[in-house]
Copies of this chain bind each other. A is one copy, B any other.
Amino acid sequence: MKPYREMSRDELLQLKAELEKRYQEAQAENLHLDMSRGKPSVEQLDISMEMMDVLNSEADLKDSEGVDCRNYGVLDGVKEAKELLGQMSEVSPDKIIIYGNSSLNVMYDTVARAMTHGIMGHTPWAKLDQVKFLCPVPGYDRHFAITEYFGIEMIQVPMTPEGPDMDQVEKLVSSDPAVKGIWCVPKYSNPQGITYSDETVRRFAHLKPAAEDFRIFWDNAYCVHHLYEDQQDFLLEILDECEKAGNPDLVYKFCSTSKISFPGSGVACIATSPNNLKDIKKQLTIQTIGHDKVNQLRHVRFFKDIDGIHAHMRKHAAIMRPKFEAVLETFERELAGLEIGSWIRPRGGYFISFDAMEGCAKAIVAKCKAAGVVMTGAGATYPYGKDPKDSNIRIAPSFPTREELATATDLFVLCVKLASVEKLLEA
């Protein structure tokens, strides 16, 4: 196929007429499909159903240390849950606090605590004139929502195939004491599926922040979420690298089983240095008597260890992989060579990131919506919902069935073409 931008006006007009006809036909189908959120499918939820059987009325609900998990107590999680999530987080159990059902909630609480009480004795952020966070873009809308909610100024840093542009990160972090944090999804990033390179991780670990209370918010949401058995990304363990670099307190690492067992009924954790843990526990002991230990036990008895988690994730991958491939194959078949969009083929995670021609993302998403296919809002992958190039669209292939996904992707591709032609005709 010829790139659209090389077409004559007449060719574009003719193409537009064809695409409009097809779009009208699609609209007539009355679709109701959703590719907007990183939500596991019913089929994926089904593979965890046996977790509902591991604890019953005959079960011993004592943990390995004899703690009755049914009762109050144990602020930071039962021993074997710390071991399991420690393995998942690739840190020793004594660097873990187990939380409730949501790592997003842990991240929110971490920012909230810094706002009201500061980090390790430093001035509460709420008392500072300015607090800034670096936001690698495109990124995760719920991260940006937290920092926006607390009035934290967000500074965009572009992603590269190796992770965030570290030249910019180093410059901003070392020069501006108002820069207090950076949001990272370091493995199979949301939405691009990029895994930070070893060099990127090491440069993070060697940062020399102007602010002593600068922290990296390392959201390792997709740590075990590979799509392929034989092609897996590898991420250096950041806490370890920070220790080696003499920066042990630099990172808060977040993790959860939300997309492993049941979203909303999983177990989340933070992994960080002893100093940070001590600081966090001062607050946690005021906030709660402890999280749901029965659910911690349920997860441990179901998965047993990290091998159990990996085996379980292979079942997820078997369901996810064909969906990702269906979307990517359609892109290849329908869009390759047209120069109206680019995408990355991820090896894990939950998303495919699509970059349309500048100024087309909103139009594409609107066209999809008008034909019954809901995409993540254009701009959502940028702070304040504003993509300066109006180009990036996050695609979440997990929730629809394969058939739905095929239909939705066909429509998406059609909308990309139509919006691109319209854009070129404007020029």
Residues of A participating in the B interface, judged by any CB pair closer than 8 Å: 37, 39-40, 42, 45, 48-53, 55-57, 59, 68-73, 100-102, 104-105, 108-109, 112, 115-117, 124, 126, 142, 145-146, 149-150, 258, 262-265, 283, 286-295
Measured in the bound complex, the distance between the Cα atoms of B350 and A8 in whole Å is 82
Q: Contacts A72-B263, A265-B70: A102 and B146 contacting too (C-beta < 8 A)?
A: no
| A101 contacts across to B, CB distance below 8 A | 100, 291-292
- Asked if residues B262 and A71 are in contact (CB atoms below 8 Å), the reply is yes
Q: Contacts A264-B294, A295-B295: A286 and B145 contacting too (C-beta < 8 A)?
A: yes
- Asked if residues B262 and A70 are in contact (CB atoms below 8 Å), the reply is yes
- Asked if residues B72 and A48 are in contact (CB atoms below 8 Å), the reply is no
- Asked if residues B265 and A289 are in contact (CB atoms below 8 Å), the reply is no
- Asked if residues B108 and A286 are in contact (CB atoms below 8 Å), the reply is yes
| A42 contacts across to B, CB distance below 8 A | 68
Closest residue of chain B to A48, judged by CB? B70
- Asked if residues B68 and A57 are in contact (CB atoms below 8 Å), the reply is no
Which one of B55, B116, B264, B291 contacts A73 once the chains associate, using CB atoms below 8 Å? B264
Q: Which of A112, A124, A258, A265 has the most CB of B within 10 A?
A: A265
| A263 contacts across to B, CB distance below 8 A | 70-72, 289
- Asked if residues B39 and A72 are in contact (CB atoms below 8 Å), the reply is yes
| A71 contacts across to B, CB distance below 8 A | 39-40, 45, 262-264
Which one of B40, B72, B290, B291 contacts A37 once the chains associate, using CB atoms below 8 Å? B72
- Asked if residues A72 and B150 are in contact (CB atoms below 8 Å), the reply is no
Q: List 26 A-B contacts (CB under 8 A).
A: A39-B72, A40-B71, A42-B68, A49-B57, A50-B57, A52-B56, A52-B57, A52-B59, A69-B264, A70-B263, A71-B262, A71-B263, A71-B264, A100-B291, A102-B288, A102-B291, A105-B287, A116-B126, A142-B286, A142-B289, A146-B286, A149-B283, A264-B290, A264-B293, A264-B294, A292-B292
| A68 contacts across to B, CB distance below 8 A | 42, 45
Nearest CB on B from A101, distance (A): 5
Nearest CB on B from A48, distance (A): 7
Which one of B45, B49, B72, B146 contacts A264 once the chains associate, using CB atoms below 8 Å? B72
Nearest CB on B from A406, distance (A): 22
Measured in the bound complex, the distance between the Cα atoms of B283 and A264 in whole Å is 18
- Asked if residues B108 and A287 are in contact (CB atoms below 8 Å), the reply is yes
Measured in the bound complex, the distance between the Cα atoms of B37 and A365 in whole Å is 56
| A149 contacts across to B, CB distance below 8 A | 117, 283, 286
Which one of B48, B115, B293 contacts A116 once the chains associate, using CB atoms below 8 Å? B115
Q: Which of A52, A69, A146, A290 has the most CB of B within 10 A?
A: A52
- Asked if residues B264 and A104 are in contact (CB atoms below 8 Å), the reply is no
Q: Contacts A45-B71, A265-B70, A289-B102: A116 and B52 contacting too (C-beta < 8 A)?
A: no
Nearest CB on B from A141, distance (A): 11
- Asked if residues A265 and B283 are in contact (CB atoms below 8 Å), the reply is no
Closest residue of chain B to A37, judged by CB? B72
13 new A-B pairs (CB below 8 Å) besides A72-B263, A73-B264, A264-B292? A39-B72, A51-B57, A56-B56, A70-B263, A71-B262, A71-B264, A100-B292, A104-B287, A108-B286, A116-B116, A146-B286, A262-B294, A265-B293
Measured in the bound complex, the distance between the Cα atoms of B105 and A45 in whole Å is 28
Closest residue of chain B to A74, judged by CB? B264
| A264 contacts across to B, CB distance below 8 A | 69-73, 289-294
